[in-house]
Chains A and B, each alone.
Chain A
Amino acid sequence: MPANKSLPDPAVLLVERDVLVRMPLAAYLRDCGYTVIETGGGEEALTALQQDQYRVDVVLTDAELPGALDGFSLAQWVRKNRPEVSMLIAATPERAAAVAGKLCEEGPMLAKPYAHELVADRIRQLIASRRRSDS
């Protein structure tokens, strides 16, 4: 992929504080054909999302992030300001149980540690679903 070279690669904004988790996942997603913008926290992610020239199709974020902006706050910002962008929030099972209510509001959930194939599959599904709803 992608099959049509005239289309830009779908873009994923990856928000993950641990470089040893972020780096291999970003490399895997690039191998799958995605453009990946790597960020380590909510503030960096916001900086990238506020750039009109950056295409972002999916934000994949850890629920727990350093700084004042966690994954859910980031998701709320995206929903309000970049509604065309799909959100994918990841958390450990313990964290997921604690925030189940919020997840109902903020969209798909992904368990950590990441299974790279599953992440790519969920991203592909989100992008396909968004394209169907836009057409």
Chain B
Amino acid sequence: MQNGDEGPAFARYLILLVEDEVLLRHELAQHLRLAGYEVVEARNGEEAGLLVRTGTTAAVLITDIRMPGSVDGLLLAGYVRRQTPHTKIIIMSGDLPASSGVADAAFAKPLYVAALLAKVQELVGARCHAREQKLA
């Protein structure tokens, strides 16, 4: 893996995906993996915060805003911005807040996966070796 200008080499194509709805999380993760990215999945803000605290340094955080528990997506985004400033942040929600300034991009649900993938590629670059399309 090549080293980039914005973070350690191991993190360049790593995506931390935070979504409490299991089917959407799995589908998004599979699309991102097929595009060649490494994806770490978290079910809520607490799980994602724990992963960040224990060393997961992602190139991109993709997070839902409304999630069960005490850490919503905006709180998580602020935490990640402080802990790993090079991490790009994409938020997604059914109703996007007027103020989502902490994020580098925002997507309304329902998501257009192609648009999300294009944004990820814009933020961190495309993987050269996308996997064979084999979604269930």
Chain A residues with a Cβ under 8 A of chain B: 5, 8-9, 11, 19-20, 23, 26-27, 30, 35, 37-40, 44, 47-48, 51, 53-55
Per the bound structure, the CA–CA distance linking A23 and B54 in Å amounts to 12
Per the bound structure, the CA–CA distance linking A20 and B54 in Å amounts to 9
Judge if B134 is at the interface, Cβ distance under 8 Å. yes
Per the bound structure, the CA–CA distance linking A11 and B40 in Å amounts to 17
Q: Which of A8, A23, A26, A44 contacts B136 (CB 8 A)?
A: A8
Question: Which size bracket describes the interface of B in this complex?
Answer: 10 to 19
Q: How far is the CB of B38 from chain A (nearest CB, A)?
A: 8
Judge if B103 is at the interface, Cβ distance under 8 Å. no
**When the two chains form their complex, are residues A19 and B47 in contact, meaning their CB atoms are under 8 A apart?**
yes
Per the bound structure, the CA–CA distance linking A23 and B136 in Å amounts to 21
**When the two chains form their complex, are residues B54 and A48 in contact, meaning their CB atoms are under 8 A apart?**
no
Judge if B41 is at the interface, Cβ distance under 8 Å. yes
Residues of B within 8 A of A40 (CB): 43, 47
**Residue of B22, B29, B43, B54 most packed against chain A (CB within 10 A):** B22
Residues of B within 8 A of A26 (CB): 41
